[in-house]
Amino acid sequence: MSTQSYLIDTNIIIGLEDNHTVQPAYAKFSQLTARHKVDVFVHEAARDDYGRDKDADRRAISLSKLDKFQILAKVKGLKEATLEEAFGRLRKHNDIVDATLLHALNIGAADFLVTEDQGLHDRAQKHSADLGNRVLFIADASQLLATTYEPRDVPIRHVVDVSAHTISLADRFFDSLRDGYPEFNDWWKTKCVGERRPCWVVYDDDELAGLIVRKDETGADTDATQKVGKILKICTFKVSPEKRGVKLGELLLKMVLWYAQKNAYDLAYLTAYPDQDALIALLEFYGFRKTGTKGEAGELILERAFSRERLEPEPGVSIYDMDRMNYPRFILGPDVRGFVIPIKEGYHDVLFPDLRNARQPDMFQDLGIGASPKRPGNTIRKVYICQSPSNLSDAGSVLFFYKGKSNDSPSQAFTAVGILEEVSHATSTKDLVQLTGGRSVYSEAELVAFGATPGNPYKVINYLLVDYIDPPISLAVLEDLGILTSHPQAISELKDGRFGDALRRSNLGFAL
């Protein structure tokens, strides 16, 4: 019996059932839910919404499509005022339907809600981080199903630095760019190929899945509103439509943020059309701000400043929010604590696949980008499941990940630094499924094997990966510096100057 259930929005039904070619993510979702007998529901409120259509023929067709799915009944007596209090102002009928879907999710009637509506994602996130993590785009839902139920492949999704001329313009990856910008081919040939502009690319299953074209600018020659000295322009930021939502966008953005920080840029910016909701939401989560518009189409200019100076708190802004908006820099001070999280080799490999089997040559190891990270990992936001006793502190705490004894290097060493987002407690497999959400790297069998119960609870630690420690700090060095006295057995706090010593040894590249 499946441990997951999905409530789908009407825009997902349209993607699955309308008379047009089904996109890969929708097809994958349908295949996986059917193959693994996963419950998929349509809410009764959505059925009622279709029933209001005054066109009798169209209404009958729409309702017949809903009959393919299980119907999730409405909560009797649920008031609009109750929904508005929980999920914000409801200006129109569609808002009421959206809030009803979130209410069903919030009370546990389904594990995940699948929707392409960015407004619904935003409404869920404003309610709580937990609810926001359980509202998924169709590609995220498909990826979560594959991760949970399908045999695991080991994806190699390194970001590779190449020149634009090495990328075939005939690749179908560019079709949507050509559709929206008729002059794209000429621009690519004259600007990207002609100027040999550098690109970051991500390949998935040997197909081009993500691309960033970048360019260095100065304040004297830029479309950015902030005329600073060293500017990184993101000319193109694109993820293949069928890969959208599987964290490749976050991977590419991570490359931008790490590269700009490590190479002392003052500013990074790009333009986006107002309807690119998901991209804009991702950028704004990590500190990009709308600063102006460009051209007749009203492209939005989004900018993000960088500094190597010490990050200081701002009144009214939480430490964690300051950290994510200035990522990868973070705040230190009397209210910020540091913790060591020991991880066994197998779990470390799953959590940090880029550090796995480091003793074997990597096919991309010679394709670095100067001072930037050569192997930046797969996501920024990560989740770790453990039972280690601890007194983990508030969001914004600094985490040092310690890899235990292993055959592969590094062994018994600090390997990575993170920033705590939140800690939740799971007392069932269902809790683990819901709390890990779209960040899960665990299969259903692994989640079941944890055996979470009220008497055997697990911690679910959500955090931001700040950086890998290069070189890792070995146990011998940690003991010599007095940071550790022995191999850590459980999550523990670094006190009495040891926290600062560990930070300084981590060489993060900005003032602390």
Evaluate whether residue 76 is within a structural domain: yes
Evaluate whether residue 463 is within a structural domain: yes
d(CA 7, CA 141): 11
Residue 487 sits in a domain whose CATH number is 2.30.130.30
DSSP code of residue 218:
B
Q: What pLDDT, on a 0 to 100 scale, did the predictor assign at position 389? A: 83
Q: What pLDDT, on a 0 to 100 scale, did the predictor assign at position 378? A: 67
Evaluate whether residue 124 is within a structural domain: yes
d(CA 436, CA 357): 25
Q: What pLDDT, on a 0 to 100 scale, did the predictor assign at position 436? A: 84
Separation in Å, CA 398 to CA 335, 338, 377, 393:
11, 5, 19, 9
The verdict on 58 and 201 lying in the same domain is no
The verdict on 104 and 248 lying in the same domain is no
Q: What pLDDT, on a 0 to 100 scale, did the predictor assign at position 365? A: 38
Of the candidates 264, 289, 305, which is a domain's last residue? 305
Residue 210 sits in a domain whose CATH number is 3.40.630.30
Evaluate whether residue 176 is within a structural domain: yes
| Phi and psi, residue 421, nearest 5° | -95, -55
d(CA 90, CA 287): 28
In the block, tokens 């059932």 appear at: 17
| Phi and psi, residue 327, nearest 5° | -50, 135
Helices (H), 214-288: 248-262, 277-285
Amino acid at 237: F
Residue 123 sits in a domain whose CATH number is 3.40.50.1010
The verdict on 344 and 299 lying in the same domain is no
The verdict on 299 and 366 lying in the same domain is no
The verdict on 413 and 472 lying in the same domain is yes
Q: What pLDDT, on a 0 to 100 scale, did the predictor assign at position 376? A: 32
Of the candidates 305, 328, 355, which is a domain's last residue? 305
Q: What pLDDT, on a 0 to 100 scale, did the predictor assign at position 3? A: 74
Residues 211, 200 contacting (CB under 8 angstroms): yes
The verdict on 358 and 498 lying in the same domain is yes
The verdict on 59 and 194 lying in the same domain is no
Does pTM surpass 0.85? no
Q: What pLDDT, on a 0 to 100 scale, did the predictor assign at position 2? A: 60
CA nearest neighbour of 438 among 103, 142, 92? 142
The verdict on 185 and 279 lying in the same domain is yes
Separation in Å, CA 131 to CA 109, 322, 354, 448:
13, 22, 29, 22
The residue count of the chain comes to 512
Question: Looking at the 3D structure of the chain, how many domains does it have?
Answer: 3
Q: What pLDDT, on a 0 to 100 scale, did the predictor assign at position 65? A: 77
Q: What pLDDT, on a 0 to 100 scale, did the predictor assign at position 10? A: 85
Residue ranges of the chain with per-residue pLDDT less than 70 = 1-2, 17-22, 151-158, 242-246, 357-378, 438
d(CA 424, CA 39): 25
Of the candidates 89, 114, 149, which is a domain's last residue? 149
Strand stretches in 39-157, DSSP E: 39-43, 70-72, 112-114, 135-136
The verdict on 282 and 386 lying in the same domain is no
The verdict on 424 and 390 lying in the same domain is yes
User: Residue 124 corresponds to which tokens in the numbers above?
Assistant: 């869920």
The verdict on 391 and 299 lying in the same domain is no
Q: What pLDDT, on a 0 to 100 scale, did the predictor assign at position 156? A: 36
d(CA 440, CA 456): 20
Contacts of 356 (CB under 8 A, 6+ apart): 348, 349, 408
Q: What pLDDT, on a 0 to 100 scale, did the predictor assign at position 151? A: 63
| Phi and psi, residue 118, nearest 5° | -60, -35
In the block, tokens 């808002």 appear at: 95
Evaluate whether residue 317 is within a structural domain: no
Evaluate whether residue 36 is within a structural domain: yes
The verdict on 373 and 295 lying in the same domain is no
Q: Domain residues for 282?
A: 159-305
